[in-house]
Amino acid sequence: MRTLISLSLALLFLTSTHLFAEEDLSPEPEKKSKRFFYEYPVSIKARGAYFWPQAHALRSRYGKHFADYSLELAYLLSRRWSVFLNGSIYHKHGHTKISRKKTNLTAIPLTLGINFYLHRSLVWRPYVGVGGGAAYVRFRDRSLFHKEVVSRWGEASFAQLGLEMNLTQRCIIDLFGGYRKNWVSFPKSQSHHHHHIQTGGWELGAGIGSRF
């Protein structure tokens, strides 16, 4: 019985020591954490997402299912904060509601922002981030006798919630969800009966990246 109690206490001690190490509470993981982030402060991630446009006018023309692709470059300021530059693009074919003309939509938002990491672990790093910038939007309507291309720059904002998983010191897996707002203003004659067009919406996706 004493032997069993001794083994149980030893196992409990080892388990608690391992848990404290994962939470960066011991001095040694703290040193590893600092060394890790100072050696590899820059990361780049390629991400893909399912995109659901918020505006009903876009959904009626182009459908509810978009594919959004983005690149995100980030620099770690500390174990809690990083700044990022995100460039995204989606392109979708559709038809006008009444005349059924073919139409294409291309949106390219560029945002600069900041991420806050909710946990300092080297493996699991949940985060929240916000950013703002500019968005390029182009509509192209086509028929047998007419082609019209309208493009404008507008405002862009971005909020995201995600989880980074460090598979190795350099390899990252990123799971994320977010909301984009791309607010573009068109003149009356080119706005398709809209003064302002919101080409943003909700997205959910994943990505892979590298630190260097």
What pTM value is reported for the model? 0.75
Residues 6+ apart with CB under 8 A from 15: none
pLDDT at 196: 79
pLDDT in tens, 130-188: 999 999 999 887 654 456 788 889 999 999 999 999 898 889 999 999 999 998 887 66
Instruction: Please identify, in words, the CATH class of the domain defined by 40-211.
Output: mainly beta
Mean pLDDT, the chain, rounded, equals: 80
pLDDT in tens, 5-27: 353 444 334 434 443 344 443 44
**Cross-strand bridge partners of residue 206:** 48, 175
Q: Give the count of alpha carbons within 13 A of 109, CB side only.
A: 27
Domain positions in the chain? 1-39, 40-211
The sign of the torsion formed by the CA atoms of 56, 57, 60, 61 equals negative
